[in-house]
Structure 1
Amino acid sequence: MTVWAVNGAAGFGKTYRLLQRTTQELQSCPLGPGQAVLALTFMHGARQRLEQKLQAIPGLRGKYQCVTVDGFARSLRWRWRSLANAMGQPSTDAADFDSQCSLAADLVQRPVVGSWLAMGYPCILLDEAQDLDLHRLRLVEALSAYSRLLIAFDDFQCLRQDLRPSPASVWLPTVCEPEVLAKPQRCKVPALLDASTALRSGLRPVAGAGFKIAECASASQAAALIAATIHYAKLKSPNSSVAVITPSRKGGYAEELVELVSTKQCGKQKLGPFKLNWELGESPFLESVEQLAFDGEKPCRDVLHALLDTEEGLARDALVRWVIRKRDVAGREYIRFADLLGQARRVLAVTRARANRSDSGRRALTVHQAKNREFDIVIVVWPYTVAQDDEGKRRLLYNAVTRAKLQCTVIVQGIGSTGKAPFG
């Protein structure tokens, strides 16, 4: 087993150090004919950014594969489907994402599969390992028995309450001595760095030059502050990227502010409107499919009619095509809801994987969508209620604030909330 790991706070250069170490590994142990580097992440957005950075490594062009852990698990099980079937495993289409990873780990533990993988991927790198649950970590542990693993992680950036501490942060110190980064790279603004340090330490962040905290008594006041922030950022640097980030769109506060800023002139100076588009996540699509829930089986015709009544989109269209193929090519008259929902998740994963998402311009998104990304100006919209415990709230705010390179403004709904750490 050969495992190397790097640990560091947001913006401290974990991914840069990970790729630097990869370059060093390839210099000492060059890839042979037919070999490649396997790069893994949990989220598709992180995968896209990691792939862009891999393209810049000299000599690695065409010699790497960058996929999500879930995508790799599925492709592995499809490649070894005959063995999986002999082991009594369910098909790739029948397994959910969690089971897919555990079943893939069982395959990798077979020497014939593990050795085959090591021949093709002698070096495997994994970014943002703190997001992996036990199912996905099982697969990573299985891979470590055959290939050299290079891993980057930061436990505090894990946002799942049921993953504290994150499984990767518990496992890694037992197999290696993680390298710890101590110097920030993304941001040089003292007030932003102090705020992020305070949040990691359980303290209340303090405003300063480049970091502002504002209590807003009304939506119009909050919208005016957002419009003013965008206006002056545009005057200072027309090409600045601006992100409005919120813990959740549920409750409607952030959506109300985005709508006001996008459609009206705000504040006494009548600034705007400034168009802000919400980045689409998986919730609207999956929720629409989940609302179609039915017992047993349903005729393909009825399923198609129900899908066509949902909101248009690439994922929905792909799911419609899947039902049509099942009916016209496979000859199936009925569809089980479990199969429909499982395919909806797979379709969504593929759609997100192919999306070409840029961090330039202006947009609105949730903290989860903003993870691992960076923007010049960040505006955090913090509503009355955030569905997390105190530790979870600090992690959410930390992940939002640390997306900023130059300036961050935190808008807190209501008066009197900022006395608590962090805000309620």
Structure 2
Amino acid sequence: MGAYDRVCDLASVLIARQEVVRWIAATFPVVVVDEAQDLTQNRLAIVQSLEPHVDLLVASDEFQCLVEELRPNPACHWLANAGNEMVLDQPQRTHDQHLLAAARAIRSGEAPVTAGKFKVVATPNAGMAGTWISNAISWNRAGNRVAIITPTMGTFANQVRQWVETRTTTRQNGPHRVNLEQSEAERCRLLIDALGLPDHASFLEAQVLIAAQPRAIKLDFISLLDKQRRTRGQEFFSRQDMESAILQVFANQRRFIGNDGPGVRLLTVHGAKNREFDLVLVLWPAAIGGDNMQKRRLLYNAVTRAKSQCLVLVQSAQALTLPPFTYEE
């Protein structure tokens, strides 16, 4: 628990053994891998060991890799050399020509053009950005799934969220509730800090500690500890045991509970990957790390989450004169 990279390291060593990989291939003769551009070296090694023994279908797009350490991309390099490649260039998420044109421009290093359902607007302060967002949410007729997406969950994003949740625009739109999506690590840290876990606790004491939390979190946490109690005869749990159980609770929720339903949510570009929303509102703060390529990839991944409409709100006017909003030589 809490050492997934180490688990993958060991798995890549085990699956390299012929008796292991053949046993797995007999059970899973067809393997499908999505988002392969995000494979770290140990996870790529698992896929490479499987390749001679199974029917392997792999989907990847190097431009959508946001991990700068994966450049040049090892998975995409391996796939290019493997051959038998099929290029899928027909967009499926949206058919809006202005959204498609903006995505093509960002990807090719050109300036995305404001037109139709795609707009880039300078919003130097939280009030202006919040006004655009509140009005867009109220006027949204394409659907009820709305995402506010930002590269960094910093001061600008938090100020805008507060404005949207507490203020009304001059056109009497808002306030709107915004659900903040945080990473597993951040949510775990906040919950652990709030619980004030002791160094050790009995099973009953652990139940009391978690009692005030939401039902799904509480039941999952108790179930995980109860499994250790029944299978290992463990009656007392260390702080590390309880923290590991909380981490597993949030991992289970991410895997098994859908979170793209109705409502407005604020999340990072990394958190929005492989998801889609009717209306996407991109908050582009003044300070964003990475080179021009990284910024293009961040903006591309944010814009391409939109099915019907996308509005990009740029805090710094100077940013509009630089990539990814201008031509990159």
TM-score (norm. length: structure 2): 0.84
The alignment status of 1:253 with 2:160, answered yes or no, reads: no
- Per the alignment, in what secondary structure is the counterpart of residue 139 of structure 2? helix
The structure-2 alpha-carbon separation of the partners of 1:335 and 1:253, relative to structure 1 and needing over 3 Å to count, comes to same
- Per the alignment, in what secondary structure is the counterpart of residue 350 of structure 1? helix
The structure-2 alpha-carbon separation of the partners of 1:155 and 1:323, relative to structure 1 and needing over 3 Å to count, comes to same
Question: Contact between 2:34 and 2:60, CA under 8 Å: does it hold in 1?
Answer: yes
- Per the alignment, in what secondary structure is the counterpart of residue 182 of structure 1? coil
1:194 deviates by 2.4
The alignment status of 1:353 with 2:281, answered yes or no, reads: no
- Per the alignment, in what secondary structure is the counterpart of residue 200 of structure 1? helix
The structure-2 alpha-carbon separation of the partners of 1:305 and 1:187, relative to structure 1 and needing over 3 Å to count, comes to closer
1:396 deviates by 1.0
> Which amino acid in the other structure matches residue 406 of structure 1?
S
* Segment drifting more, 413-422 vs 367-376: 413-422
Counterparts of 1:269 and 1:102, CA distance in 2? 56
Deviation track 1:114-149 (CA, whole Å, cap 9, x = no partner) reads: 222222211111111111111111111111121110
Counterparts of 1:108 and 1:335, CA distance in 2? 33
> Which amino acid in the other structure matches residue 418 of structure 1?
L
Q: What pairs up with 1:352-391 in 2 under 5 angstroms? A: 352-391=254-293
1:395 deviates by 0.9
Deviation track 1:69-123 (CA, whole Å, cap 9, x = no partner) reads: xxxxxxxxxxxxxxxxxxxxxxxx5x82112122222222333322222222111
The alignment status of 1:162 with 2:69, answered yes or no, reads: yes
Question: Contact between 2:121 and 2:311, CA under 8 Å: does it hold in 1?
Answer: yes
Q: What pairs up with 1:70-149 in 2 under 5 angstroms? A: 96-149=3-56
- Per the alignment, in what secondary structure is the counterpart of residue 21 of structure 2? helix
1:326 deviates by 5.2
The structure-2 alpha-carbon separation of the partners of 1:194 and 1:272, relative to structure 1 and needing over 3 Å to count, comes to same
Question: Contact between 2:168 and 2:174, CA under 8 Å: does it hold in 1?
Answer: yes
- Per the alignment, in what secondary structure is the counterpart of residue 217 of structure 1? coil
> Which amino acid in the other structure matches residue 121 of structure 1?
F
1:307 deviates by 6.5
Counterparts of 1:233 and 1:197, CA distance in 2? 24
> Which amino acid in the other structure matches residue 124 of structure 1?
V
1:270 deviates by 2.1
Deviation track 1:328-362 (CA, whole Å, cap 9, x = no partner) reads: 8633656374x555544433222211213334443
Question: Contact between 1:215 and 1:416, CA under 8 Å: does it hold in 2?
Answer: no
Counterparts of 2:39 and 2:215, CA distance in 1? 29
Counterparts of 2:215 and 2:283, CA distance in 1? 27
* Segment drifting more, 354-363 vs 388-397: 354-363
Counterparts of 1:172 and 1:202, CA distance in 2? 24
The correspondence for 1:201, drawn from 108, 126, 133, is 108
> Which amino acid in the other structure matches residue 243 of structure 1?
A
Please list every run of 5 or more consecutive structure 2 residues that lacks an aligned counterpart in the other structure: none
1:401 deviates by 0.4
Q: For residue 270 of structure 1, what is the aligned residue in structure 2?
A: 172
The alignment status of 1:299 with 2:200, answered yes or no, reads: yes
The correspondence for 1:287, drawn from 189, 196, 219, is 189
1:227 deviates by 1.4
Cα RMSD for the two superposed structures:
3.2
The correspondence for 1:412, drawn from 307, 314, 318, is 314
Deviation track 1:167-197 (CA, whole Å, cap 9, x = no partner) reads: 2101112222321123333323333222212
Q: What pairs up with 1:170-249 in 2 under 5 angstroms? A: 170-234=77-141, 237=142, 239-249=143-153
Counterparts of 1:135 and 1:212, CA distance in 2? 41
Q: For residue 40 of structure 1, what is the aligned residue in structure 2?
A: none
The structure-2 alpha-carbon separation of the partners of 1:160 and 1:290, relative to structure 1 and needing over 3 Å to count, comes to farther
> Which amino acid in the other structure matches residue 163 of structure 2?
L
Question: Contact between 1:262 and 1:274, CA under 8 Å: does it hold in 2?
Answer: yes
Question: Contact between 2:112 and 2:325, CA under 8 Å: does it hold in 1?
Answer: no
Question: Contact between 2:37 and 2:64, CA under 8 Å: does it hold in 1?
Answer: yes
**Does 1 or 2 have the higher relative contact order (CA < 8 Å, sep 6+)?**
2
Q: What pairs up with 1:29-108 in 2 under 5 angstroms? A: 96-108=3-15
Q: What pairs up with 1:6-25 in 2 under 5 angstroms? A: none
- Per the alignment, in what secondary structure is the counterpart of residue 365 of structure 1? strand
- Per the alignment, in what secondary structure is the counterpart of residue 418 of structure 1? helix
Question: Contact between 1:204 and 1:420, CA under 8 Å: does it hold in 2?
Answer: no
> Which amino acid in the other structure matches residue 403 of structure 1?
R
Identity %: 36
Aligned residues: 322
Q: For residue 77 of structure 1, what is the aligned residue in structure 2?
A: none
> Which amino acid in the other structure matches residue 133 of structure 1?
T
The alignment status of 1:152 with 2:59, answered yes or no, reads: yes
- Per the alignment, in what secondary structure is the counterpart of residue 349 of structure 1? helix
1:224 deviates by 1.0
The structure-2 alpha-carbon separation of the partners of 1:323 and 1:300, relative to structure 1 and needing over 3 Å to count, comes to farther
